[in-house]
Chains A and B, each alone.
Chain A
Amino acid sequence: MSSVVDPVGRDGSAGPAGRDDAADPADRGPAGSTAAGSTAAGSTAVGPTAAGVAAAGEPAAPLLSARGLEVHFPIRRGLILDRTIGHVRAVDGVDLDLPRGGTYGLVGESGCGKSTLGRALLRLVEPTAGTVTMDGVDVLALKGEALRMQRRRMQMVFQDPLSSLDPRQSVESILSEPLQTHRVVSGSAARATRVRELLDTVGLPASAAGRYPHEFSGGQRQRIGIARAVALEPALIIADEPVSALDVSIQAQIVNLLEELQERLGLTYLVIAHDLAVVRHISDVIGVMYLGVVVEQTASRRLYTEPLHPYTRALMSAVPIPDPDLEDSRQRILLSGDLPSPANPPSGCRFRTRCPWVQETRCADEVPPLREVRPDHVVACHWAEQIDAGEIRPRADAIV
């Protein structure tokens, strides 16, 4: 297949088709991207880096890049010996580029590894393999003061604002704490001014400073969480389900606030969410994850109109649209069963156990590499072109 491009600059040790005959499944990533193989990122990186599909202009260098990122959690058994009997391969070989000043949306089923990936980028959990670079800095090698300085530049916004805010701290103290520990604003008067400024930035009155988290509504609490995240003027914000705990009527307020802040402060976002309509609205690029790997990545506007991976197709068709005529005429692709265990992912293509297009050949024994099927559109499916052309049809009972 001559159109196979290695879009993310892996060293190609797995070969273009990702043929995989390693005996021990624990030793390989989805596209042969081991820690060693993935450090080759750089000059050979072409095509659909996230930055390439971000703003209309020149593809700027991504703010943050990950290559071959893996997070494997040991599964332990036994009280005395505490043996490791296996690994949960929560993130299992992910390449990612976050477009500078843009938004990368990460979607996928519960348990597919989205939060773990986000936390690994911030080193809230240590990756077991791979590289993360931000502005040329090798984030995973940082220690001590350098790591602390780096952390200032990367902040997180959480799903549940109430549980991520200390109930005994006033808003004033929640917001001035990072200013103090990172010594960015000295003097309590100056800090108080900065706190008022932050509150104003997120659309809360100055009087909010003296109150406590439980005195606010869910949407207001999320504003406090966002104010805390932008307090140190970070370059990157990772927002993990920032609106899913909020009422529908409030979600739009927070989405708009995030967009406004991005524009004003030049922030780069990684937004993790399971609501595809929200992700599509807010993102420039979307990555679809399945069982620890990215199976498709392209510009947000394309994903709904031209999904190429069978999982993305199913996902898009499953999202309800508030339009009765459309709902009545839409075809839905139903997947059977649940997400397989990330401790023991299926051989070959991880999606094959639920894929309505699964083929007798290749699917079960070759790991499909992420490859550029269209310009700036990468997909990890052996049969993407044939499926797109209608040459391979889905199982009939999967369509309703």
Chain B
Amino acid sequence: MSLLEVEDLSVVFSRRGRRDVRAVDGVSFSVDAGQTLGVVGESGSGKSVTSLAIMGLLPRRGAAVGGEVTFGGRKLLGMRRDELRDLRGKELAMIFQDPLSALNPVVPIGRQVTEVLTRHRGMTGTDARREAARLLDLVGIPDPDRRLREYPHQLSGGMRQRALIAMAVACQPKLLIADEPTTALDVTIQAQILELLKELVRQEGTALVLITHDLGVVAGLCDRVNVMYSGRIVEAADRRTLFVDPRHPYTTGLLGSIPRLDSAEGAPLLPIPGSPTDTLPWSSACAFAPRCARSLEVCTTVTPDLEPDGRRALRCHNPVPAEEAAAVGAEGRRE
């Protein structure tokens, strides 16, 4: 049994007078201690909603969550609120895309970190302050004693994100969900933060779920990858399989449309046509069909199942053949 097991998770948003939004639909995966799972997909594909559902952070009203989430053998969905709150921050932590929204603007950074330490590790006074300074230092914030007295707006974006990571690390969580933790940051700062997350997984054995739209980040950090499209997983594989031998037309489409820093000069970009809003309902079709170069008649009338095939799971009626996959895959695009 894995540390985190997500089984057939679904989230439906309903608002009066509007059509229901099936934001997450039949999503299953698991993560072990010391493992990193990457989740990629475009805007609106359900990445954040998946993690909010796991953390129990969706509004109770208007969001219907189905399926099963088991963490360390305990069922999270339907858990009592206070019990869940206790778990959150202690064994389960999350880093959000926008660090400013996750920090309290009127409380100095130091107090926000020591509060976590008091609540979850029972530390107080000088002990807590000393530990807070150690944590800020650990995440690469220079002059931590001074920084502890500052307010969130006095820190740069990169510093705030590191402060949030320090708070997440403070309670030594077993599972950390990081939702686009570096999207708003410069590449040089991103490299620092990713290195930090890697350390955390390597040294503390933390299980990491990393949500990102940057396939390069996934290639460097994740053991396994889920590719999501319109609320469902369309391809799930170990990192190497996904990059070297991708089979879902959306995955190959993504890989073919991004330039690589090291790609051959003049190599054309092959965009995916249309936009993420051109979808068909999964209930009676493949949602990607309107944009898919390989779509067949059946793709617009029958839901493709997520089929396990040895090294991967794939949801497609007409997967990309091996030779074509190899050409757009990581090895094919090396200069």
Residues of A that sit less than 8 Å from B by CB: 109-110, 217-220, 247-253, 255-256, 274, 276-278, 280-281, 301, 304, 314-328, 332, 334-339, 400
Contacts and interface: CB of A to CB of B under 8 A. Distances in A.
Interface in B193-243: 194-195, 213-220, 239-240, 243
B269 A327 contact: no
Interface string B150-191: 000000111100000000000000000000000000111111
Given A248-B213, A320-B219, A336-B140, A276 B334 contact: no
A324 B240 contact: yes
A315 B269 contact: no
B82 interface: no
B260 A323 contact: yes
A322 B239 contact: no
Q: Is the interface of A mostly helix, strand, loop or mixed?
A: helix
A322 B243 contact: yes
The 5 A-B residue pairs whose C-beta atoms are closest, nearest first, are A320-B216, A252-B271, A281-B259, A327-B220, A252-B257
A322 B258 CA distance: 9
A222 to B, nearest CB: 11
B275 interface: yes
Contacts of B214: 248, 320
B323 interface: no
Interface string B114-132: 0000000000000000000
A335 B275 contact: no
A226 B144 CA distance: 46
B272 interface: yes
A315 B187 contact: yes
A110 B186 contact: yes
B104 interface: no
Contacts of A248: 42, 213-215, 254, 257-258
A392 B43 CA distance: 45
Contacts, number: 147
B271 A249 contact: yes
Contact of A274 (B187, B244, B273): B187
A217 B216 contact: no
B275 A217 contact: yes
28 contacts: A109-B186, A109-B188, A110-B186, A217-B276, A247-B42, A248-B213, A249-B253, A250-B271, A251-B271, A252-B258, A255-B259, A277-B258, A301-B265, A304-B262, A315-B187, A317-B191, A319-B216, A321-B219, A322-B218, A323-B219, A323-B243, A323-B331, A324-B239, A324-B240, A326-B330, A334-B191, A336-B140, A337-B142
A317 B191 CA distance: 9
Interface in B258-285: 258-263, 265, 268-273, 275-277
Given A280-B259, A334-B195, A322 B219 contact: yes
Contacts of B268: 256
A256 B258 CA distance: 11
B189 A320 contact: no
B192 interface: yes
A249 B262 contact: no
B255 interface: yes
A110 B43 CA distance: 23
A380 B331 CA distance: 35
Contacts of A276: 187, 261
A249 B276 contact: yes
